[in-house]
Amino acid sequence: MTDASNAAPLREKKSLLVVDARTKKRNAAEARFKMYGIIAITLGLLFLAVLLTTIISRGTGAFTQTFISVPVELREDKLDKKGNRNLEDIKKVSTFGYNPLLGDALSAVIAEGGFTTEITKSKELRKLLSSSAVGQMRAYVIENTDQIGQTVTFDFFASSRVDGYIKGRVTREDLARDKNLSAEHLDLVDQMIEAGVVRKKFNPSFIFGADASESRPEQAGLGVSMLGSLFMMLVVLFLALPIGVAASIYLEEFAPKNRLTDLIEVNISNLAAVPSIVFGILGLAFFIQFCGGYLGIAAMKASAPLVGGLVLTLMTLPTIIISTRAALKAVPPSIRDAALGVGASKMQTVFHHVLPLAAPGILTGTIIGLAQALGETAPLLLIGMVGYIASNYPDSVLSGFTDPNSAMPAQIFEWAKRADPAFYERAWGGIIILLVFLMTMNIIAILLRRRFERRW
């Protein structure tokens, strides 16, 4: 064969301890490359940190709220003129009818506390309180008709301006041209704080409560729309994951490789690029108008989390399919050969060996897909889940899928738009809850993914 002289060393011998110039250069490139990685990760984490601190610093305020405790005399002459405790009659008194009681009660508080203030008009005094106060009283009276005639101490929400004052958002100067509250009110509030009538405390109803109208930011909570999101995510998880994985398995492992499957593949990538609002158009047309209207499936109606979940499922599918297919592709063929070689069927091979090895990629797709679905608002706009919707808890678990509801991002989006700046704080607070929800939702997937990760 070749002669020995060919084997002359191309490079001179050198000590390993001395790094030669070329290696130095390559090592520098190596260090640079690694540095890029570190920079990239640091950048990513830095952005995250900035965003999170912004969110947290702006949002934590939403978790506390100012309350004013007011003893109210539930006067019989106003609430039950006939005096026979007939529920029908008591119900005839609307919330507007409770206003005088509230005004009197506040005057009484001032008198009792010995507070000094110029404000005397009932309407002006009531500006300290949320307009939810009367509703709260009326609901209480209807529940406890026997209490009519008694004096009951209520813990009312303070109005958003008062709350803003206590949280430092509202100052006396700000109120100069504000018709909702005046500086005198604040003087009164100062005295009330002193007397312990006004307190700021943790407000669970922000986390568990329902949405409130534009005029009552203090009462608004995320609880109901959280349920809306939960039900939607259940639908998405139980449909998108199995359908996505099944579709990927078919396309990657079973489908004949031909024009048609190429078309399907391109088509799925393309679906990922369809703006989410277009999925809303589809949802309106197919689920609500066709299934709900034409086919008469009662559960398929506007504002139902079931429909929202279905729309988000369709929207999430491409993400899961694309990542699952990539993960399946990455499993070395020798493993399939090994299983087929001992007489496993293709189906068994896929489910016993390939799928577990592709699990990390599938779970990543799921994590990202769900994150996307959880944060999406645009398609919900068209199927009636954005607006003033999440005002009632669903009656049961099953009706949670069909009762009108909103979703967390839609609720946050709605709050961010509302005029009263108190909603702005709640929007950020809502984002905190959303992120906690997201992390909780993903934690199982993240742990599972770590378990499945391995090299071969």
The answer to whether residues 296 and 341 touch, using CB atoms and an 8 Å cutoff, is no
Binding mask 224-243 for other proteins (x = CB under 8 A): ------------------xx
Measure the CA–CA gap between 324 and 340, rounded to whole angstroms. Answer: 21
Kindly state whether residue 70 participates in binding other proteins, applying the rule CB under 8 A.
no
Question: Which residue lies nearer to other proteins by CB, 28 or 195?
Answer: 28
197 vs 57, 83, 137, CA distance in Å?
28, 32, 18
Contacts of 159 (CB under 8 A, 6+ apart): 127, 128, 129, 130, 131, 180, 181, 218
Cβ 247 to other proteins, closest distance in Å? 4
Radius of gyration of the chain (CA): 32
Cβ 204 to other proteins, closest distance in Å? 20
Cβ 292 to other proteins, closest distance in Å? 5
Question: Which residue lies nearer to other proteins by CB, 82 or 454?
Answer: 454
Kindly state whether residue 121 participates in binding other proteins, applying the rule CB under 8 A.
no
Kindly state whether residue 152 participates in binding other proteins, applying the rule CB under 8 A.
no
204 vs 157, 352, 437, CA distance in Å?
12, 46, 16
Kindly state whether residue 96 participates in binding other proteins, applying the rule CB under 8 A.
yes
Cβ 11 to other proteins, closest distance in Å? 7
Nearest to 106 by CA among 171, 166, 170, 192: 192
Binding mask 307-346 for other proteins (x = CB under 8 A): -------x--xxx-xxx-xxx-xxxxxxxxxxxxxxxxxx
Q: Which of 149, 269, 444, 451 binds other proteins (CB under 8 A)?
A: 269
Kindly state whether residue 262 participates in binding other proteins, applying the rule CB under 8 A.
yes
Please give the size of the binding site for other proteins, defined by CB under 8 A: 186
Kindly state whether residue 166 participates in binding other proteins, applying the rule CB under 8 A.
no
Q: How many CA atoms lie within 13 A of 283 on its CB side?
A: 29
Cβ 152 to other proteins, closest distance in Å? 18
Angle, to 10 degrees, between the axis of helix 305-329 and the axis of helix 259-272?
120
In the range 10-69, which residues lie near other proteins by CB under 8 A?
A: 10-11, 13, 15-17, 19-20, 22-23, 26-27, 29-30, 33-34, 36-41, 43-45, 47-48, 50-52, 54-55
Cβ 198 to other proteins, closest distance in Å? 21
In the range 417-456, which residues lie near other proteins by CB under 8 A?
A: 417-421, 424, 427, 431, 434-435, 438-439, 442, 446, 450, 453-456
C-beta pairs of 450-455 under 8 Å, 24+ apart in sequence: 452/356, 452/357, 452/359, 452/360, 452/363, 453/360, 454/357
Question: Which residue lies nearer to other proteins by CB, 13 or 82?
Answer: 13
The answer to whether residues 76 and 43 touch, using CB atoms and an 8 Å cutoff, is no
Question: Which residue lies nearer to other proteins by CB, 189 or 435?
Answer: 435
30 vs 17, 23, 25, 37, CA distance in Å?
18, 10, 9, 11
Nearest to 236 by CA among 306, 297, 323, 327: 306
Detail the DSSP E strand segments found in 173-217.
198-202
Measure the CA–CA gap between 329 and 326, rounded to whole angstroms. Answer: 5
In the range 272-311, which residues lie near other proteins by CB under 8 A?
A: 272-279, 281-282, 284-286, 288-289, 292-293, 295-296, 301-303
In the range 399-418, which residues lie near other proteins by CB under 8 A?
A: 404, 409, 412-414, 416-418
Q: Which of 65, 66, 131, 229 binds other proteins (CB under 8 A)?
A: 131
How many other C-beta atoms can be found within 10 angstroms of the C-beta atom of residue 376? 22
Cβ 120 to other proteins, closest distance in Å? 18
Cβ 77 to other proteins, closest distance in Å? 20
Q: Which of 85, 246, 444, 451 binds other proteins (CB under 8 A)?
A: 246
295 exposed, middle or buried (CB, 10 Å; 0-12, 13-18, 19+)?
A: exposed
Token pair of 244, please? Answer: 């996505």
In the range 171-210, which residues lie near other proteins by CB under 8 A?
A: 171, 173-180
